[in-house]
Amino acid sequence: MTQEPKFAISDPQSAIWQAVPCAYCQGTGRDRWELLSPLSLCSACGGRGSQLVQAPYRTCAHCAGDGAHPHLRVTCTTCHGLGVVYVPADAVPCGRCDGRGVDPQSEIDLACLLCGGSGWWSA
């Protein structure tokens, strides 16, 4: 039996995609809030318990890696429940939100308008 690389998959553009556990359901594949039924599938990962993210990636600043919006019972608008976001290697901490991912002008902690909520900015 050949040993396939477990997580790294290359696409035609040679981007590296890695499977990471879904933060929204903590890898269980079940709906985080069990609003409909305990058997409902996680809306972020579709029940797989993991999602693919392009590398390199970092913890999502907007939700601090939690996968849920800071105030709403929905997936984080920045990482879509993944808990991490793709950040280019040359990115610098976002000057608008100081790397927090939350827009300083927003009263309900919407994603930073400059970095999109990742907390990182690159040209």
Residues that bind Zn ion (CB under 5 A): 22, 24-25, 42, 44-45, 60, 62-63, 76, 78-79, 94, 96-97, 112, 114-115
Distances (CA, A) of 91 to 38, 56, 62, 115: 40, 11, 16, 10
CB of 23 to Zn ion, least distance (A): 8
Q: Looking at beta carbons only, is 16 or 50 nearer to Zn ion?
A: 50
Strands 92-93 and 120-121 come out as antiparallel
Tell me the C-alpha distance between 33 and 89, whole Å: 35
Q: Looking at beta carbons only, is 87 or 97 nearer to Zn ion?
A: 97
Q: Looking at beta carbons only, is 10 or 122 nearer to Zn ion?
A: 122
CB of 27 to Zn ion, least distance (A): 7
CB of 1 to Zn ion, least distance (A): 29
CB of 29 to Zn ion, least distance (A): 6
Tell me the C-alpha distance between 43 and 30, whole Å: 8
Q: Looking at beta carbons only, is 20 or 112 nearer to Zn ion?
A: 112
DSSP line for 90-101: T-EE-TTTTTS-
Contact call for residues 82 and 23 (beta carbons, < 8 A): yes
